[in-house]
Structure 1
């Protein structure tokens, strides 16, 4: 066992038996996996986790072949248990790069023995990525218990104390189950099934930087819990990645909320206010072309009104939106005033060290169907469009999604579909790896052509 790890004291075990709280952050029960490792089967079991916060999606290979269909595995994802024969394997993690290319990010020889389980975690930032291998004996979870193993997998987080208590228990009266630095991990610890709260504090303090709220853990669950770098909403430096043997899921900090920004893309509409649940003003006096920064709001269901500033007419009334815990969104008021729509899109704010990420929305009703070219020199005469025949649709806008490009200089040209007549020419754009670029094509002020761009994120 690596790291400075304190045993789970008897007093802490007793505190875990307290009655559950009324926390609003209570999650559904974590059930045991449907196909847990069978202790009667002596073959080793293998599980793979992507925990490198700025690395691209990866393919996992063993002895030169893709392992168990593990392709395009993204950050904060764990596989289920994979039963393999005992042997020595050459394991490769292939990082997927722009242009359908890849590079070997990790290469290691791994000897797997019978009656063992192995967690292989791709950990640290892309520049320093490495495998962390955790070996355990293959054994059943004691009846009525849940088994936990905790890993500090957040490279930017300092040494921390990890508390596992009854919901709302005072951590001043508790002992941490572990004190861990990056890449440290605990042994496997069993506790009675029930309701728990996981809190992480800076080592030696009671300053909580992550709070799970109340979690219900079902008997038989065998959980690997990784404190990974938070790339979603909220101020906590970490998000818990929980692997249950079948798949994995995220547990966000209880106060993470959701991040929301608002874009006014209706060329013939006045400046507007954006109001939630008929009372909370989220944005005031936003003119055409305005794009707010991200606002952190509680995760919840909302009714959104968009009204002309100064008590004018309501142009969008009670649009129902759901903002999920930890997620990031952009709300785009689009189309023309007479047919105004609201598109709520989910953003992916995670930056990838190996690529620039570009996302383009078509929100120009006057432009009709368009082709989008991405070239190195702006000459589209002999080029094929990267996206062809992109229509204007509302309220849900057509978009490219996040397109990964190698760092470099590019020209983006938008034409009327099927022609080489440029409607928008960006000029040279210098795109940097690790950056995100979002553009929304909209009408000219007042409506109609020529279209123009609203530029966001790192533009």
Structure 2
């Protein structure tokens, strides 16, 4: 998918001119915008001195530019709707300049990152871009801006070795379609991939990498423009996360191929792979007998960007199927874990599921997955009973980590395959 970001430079430059110059008076105003880039801080109200910049701005929110008198200015971020100050910072503002003020870091160590710009317009047919590292948990990174699909093997990073709070000088590139990829510094393996993004001539953008807890990437990009109607747009990672779980009790070991490329080798019952990043869109997933080109089963699966999926190989080998299930990797609240159940035993009847002594699911059939349930972290009793009875066929007391996300899978068979008895398999999703 190609994303397009329209240039707002002409409007922004006009606003700068109207606010900042006069035939009678020298320039006395700077232009200021604020960005909430702290992943765990609450919504904020923001001020530059007595000038209100934002009200109730949440994570990833950005404002349009606001004229602020030049000179030394104190920026204040308060918890929204209160006078409780979370952050203050001072800067010497220069008339005619534009300043992006980001609240960055975790709430416990909130900081202001102030990125100045001289306000110069990009050249004819060009796009002006500045890159900011605003993700506190991410290491130093290299940023590549290439033609879509270009190999990184011989590419030179547009920004190299940028640590948290670092920002690049203004870069000018011709208006065109680009692919933005972020790697750990010195690596050529992307941890973020924008897919194809069209940058429109005249655009003046700040691309801020902020924390992201979902999907294949630890960061997402906020594209900050001078368009007051659309000051920010998110450019999410263009990949999905996919893992494979061998849950067919009598199927041999398999290799997993995605779009013709071998992703996993020799996955045997009841193994589960780690998550793999896969370009979003329709993906061809197939299972081959391990070490061969003999396909056992294949399917085309639609994959959404930033979504995680578990693809289970289920049923007896004679009726083997691929069962894709969307995973919710959103972190639970502090002190909690997330747990879901999935019925993957081909000859077991419908079941009820009990967690911590309470019935949470009723009449779950083969191949059905429950929603994720919030449960207290720590030792948690899980019981699976034949529907409508108190006959427990499976039980366990796993210890669930604070913040952990899990899938409890009933796999194996009731009686037909002694080598694959009915088992409660706990998978760690995150």
**Shorter-chain TM-score: what band?**
0.5 to 0.7
2:228 matched to which residue of 1?
Answer: none
Partners of 1:334 and 1:175 lie apart in 2 by 44
Partners of 1:259 and 1:30 lie apart in 2 by 26
Partners of 2:102 and 2:376 lie apart in 1 by 26
Q: For 1:364-403, what per-residue CA distance to the aligned partner results, in whole angstroms no more than 9, with x for missing partners?
A: 4624252442x3xxxx2xx4x4x33363264xx32323x5
2:426 matched to which residue of 1?
Answer: 455
CA contact (8 A) 1:363 1:443 kept: no
Instruction: Output the aligned Cα RMSD.
Output: 5.6
Distance 1:207 1:404, change over 3 A: same
2:352 matched to which residue of 1?
Answer: 370
1:430 matched to which residue of 2?
Answer: 399
1:98 matched to which residue of 2?
Answer: none
Deviation, 1:342, is 1.9
CA contact (8 A) 1:116 1:135 kept: no
Deviation, 1:182, is 1.9
CA contact (8 A) 2:136 2:164 kept: yes
Distance 1:398 1:147, change over 3 A: same
Tell me the number of residue pairs that the alignment of Structure 1 and Structure 2 aligns.
387
CA contact (8 A) 2:215 2:240 kept: yes
The counterpart of 1:92, out of the listed 62, 71, 79, is 79
CA contact (8 A) 2:89 2:112 kept: no
Does residue 392 in structure 1 map to residue 392 in structure 2?
Answer: no
Deviation, 1:108, is 2.8
Which runs of structure 2 are paired with 1:31-430 in the superposition (5 Å)? 31-32=6-7, 39=15, 46-50=33-37, 52=39, 59-62=42-45, 78-81=60-63, 90-92=77-79, 107-108=86-87, 121=102, 123-124=104-105, 128-134=108-114, 144-155=125-136, 180-186=162-168, 191-195=173-177, 208=188, 216-228=198-210, 239=219, 241-244=221-224, 245-251=231-237, 260-267=242-249, 269-274=250-255, 276=257, 286-294=267-275, 301-306=282-287, 316=297, 318-322=298-302, 328-335=308-315, 340-347=320-327, 354=334, 357-364=337-344, 366-373=348-355, 375=356, 380=357, 383=358, 385=359, 387-389=360-362, 391-392=364-365, 394=367, 397-401=368-372, 403=373, 405=375, 407-416=377-386, 422-427=392-397, 429-430=398-399
CA contact (8 A) 2:141 2:162 kept: yes
Q: Show structure 1 runs of 5+ residues with no match.
A: 1-25, 95-104
> Which stretch shifts more, 218-227 or 414-423?
414-423
CA contact (8 A) 2:240 2:279 kept: yes
CA contact (8 A) 2:283 2:300 kept: yes
Partners of 1:166 and 1:340 lie apart in 2 by 41
CA contact (8 A) 2:253 2:267 kept: yes
CA contact (8 A) 1:93 1:106 kept: no
Q: For 1:136-155, what per-residue CA distance to the aligned partner results, in whole angstroms no more than 9, with x for missing partners?
A: 57969557443322212344
Higher relative contact order (CA 8 A, sep 6+): 1
CA contact (8 A) 2:349 2:366 kept: no
Deviation, 1:166, is 7.6
Distance 1:274 1:68, change over 3 A: farther
Corresponding residue SS for 1:399: coil
Partners of 2:86 and 2:399 lie apart in 1 by 33
Partners of 2:209 and 2:363 lie apart in 1 by 41
Partners of 1:280 and 1:172 lie apart in 2 by 22
> Which stretch shifts more, 183-192 or 81-90?
81-90
Distance 1:408 1:277, change over 3 A: closer
Distance 1:50 1:453, change over 3 A: farther
CA contact (8 A) 2:255 2:290 kept: no
CA contact (8 A) 2:207 2:221 kept: yes
Distance 1:305 1:322, change over 3 A: same
Distance 1:390 1:109, change over 3 A: farther
Q: For 1:407-446, what per-residue CA distance to the aligned partner results, in whole angstroms no more than 9, with x for missing partners?
A: 433323344556665443322x333235443321235355
Deviation, 1:248, is 0.6
Q: For 1:173-205, what per-residue CA distance to the aligned partner results, in whole angstroms no more than 9, with x for missing partners?
A: 9896676432122465555423556676888xx
Deviation, 1:60, is 1.4
Partners of 2:264 and 2:234 lie apart in 1 by 36
Distance 1:417 1:144, change over 3 A: farther
